[in-house]
Structure 1
Amino acid sequence: MRFERALCALVLVGLAGGCTSDPADPAPAASGREESAAAPPAWTEPAAYTFTLVRGCDEAAPVGRYQATVKDGVVTGATRSGGPAASAAPSAEVDLGPVTGDEGEEIDVPALGQLLEMATTAQEDGAEVTTEFDQADGHPVKVSINVTDTPAGAECWTVADYKA
């Protein structure tokens, strides 16, 4: 839930900050799929699957890595891997937001269908969205959403170890 609120806040800040579009720029593809010579097959979310979600645009230093299990489009289990979960300082008497700043906040891991819906919604709201798909079966392998005017404002998710 906190992740959804944070993303909504980012979208609102981007819109309030004066997101504009240049009429000379071509409109983004309605599907949000990357254009390529050989388009990947259309992906349909399977009834059950597992994957690793890596959060962060810097592959050398990701913000978080999560192992997820999905059944019927809903994440039924997700655990942080590759490091301890962020935790509040013992002296913290109130919730002041993310434990280690925006970069350390734990997230509600989305199912891949939810991640694609989030990308579509952000694109419809004017964000710059890039989505890459697996060439073999069409599942999403990387999603980048930027609601700001700077490259550093992007939020990225990479999918690895996908098994249907």
Structure 2
Amino acid sequence: MNPRARAVSAALLVGALLSVTVACGAEDEGNGSPAQSGAVWEEPAAYTYTLESTQGERALIGKFQVTVRDGAVTKAVGLDDSARRLVDQSPDQVPTIGDLLDELNQARKENADKAEAEYADDGHPERITLDWLENAIDDEALYVISDYEPADK
């Protein structure tokens, strides 16, 4: 291979590597949210977590201790007055982490102005921020997930 052909090949290789490097840091789905890095999380059959839901005029406001088995909430305990009222009146409104991720994905599909998530090292979400219309009042949602523990079935 002549020196000129080698130089062109090297330049193309460097360009390709730079493109891959830039793409790895790219934003996800064009909606302004960073791509998830680290482990890919699959919702286990059984786990517990604490959910704090705030912002907006959504029915789901408060802090909850949640137990999930086979993809469904089997126990929800309200940890504040608002959450206790919700659990007493509509216990089926308390979501699994999978439900929260479905809501995030739906917001992304509907081109919400903000649909972002922050993830733990194991890949489960720790914070989900949604805002369907930036200039609308009370259409936001903020979900903070803590004390996540996979459980044996």
TM over 0.5: yes
**Structure 2 Cα separation of the partners of residues 109 and 40 of structure 1:** 28
Structure 2 CA distance for aligned equivalents of residues 66 and 34 of structure 1: 27
Give the residue type in structure 1 aligned to 2:122: D
Superposed displacement of residue 116, structure 1: 0.4
Among 44, 47, 51, the alignment partner of 2:45 is 47
Partner of 2:7: none
Q: Does 1:114 align with 2:113?
A: no
Matching residue's letter, 2:105: T
Q: Calculate the aligned-residue CA RMSD, in Å.
A: 3.2
What is the aligned length?
116
Q: What does residue 125 of structure 1 align with?
A: 110
Closer/same/farther in 2, CA of residues 31 and 113 from structure 1, 3 Å limit: farther
SS at match of 2:81: coil
Q: Equivalent residue for 1:162?
A: 148
Give runs of aligned pairs for residues 30-69 of structure 1, distance below 5 A.
Answer: 30=29, 34-35=34-35, 39-57=37-55, 63-69=61-67
Find runs of 4+ consecutive structure 1 residues off by over 4 angstroms: none
Q: Which residue, 75, 78, 95 being the options, matches 2:76? A: 78
CA contact (8 A) 2:76 2:91 kept: no
Structure 2 unaligned blocks of 5 or more: 1-25, 56-60
Structure 1 unaligned residues grouped into runs of 5+? 1-26, 58-62, 88-104
Partner amino acid for 1:163? E
1:121 aligned partner, one-letter code: Q
More helix by proportion, 1 or 2? 2
Point out the structure with max Rg over C-alpha: 2
Q: Which has the higher strand share?
A: 2
TM-score of the pair, normalised by structure 2: 0.63
What is the TM-score with the length of structure 1 in the denominator?
0.59
What do residues 66-107 of structure 1 show as CA deviations (whole Å, max 9, x unaligned)? 0100011111111111336348xxxxxxxxxxxxxxxxx987
3-state SS of the aligned residue for 2:148?
Answer: strand
1:2-54 Cα deviation digits (max 9, x unpaired)? xxxxxxxxxxxxxxxxxxxxxxxxx9623986347xx2200011110000000
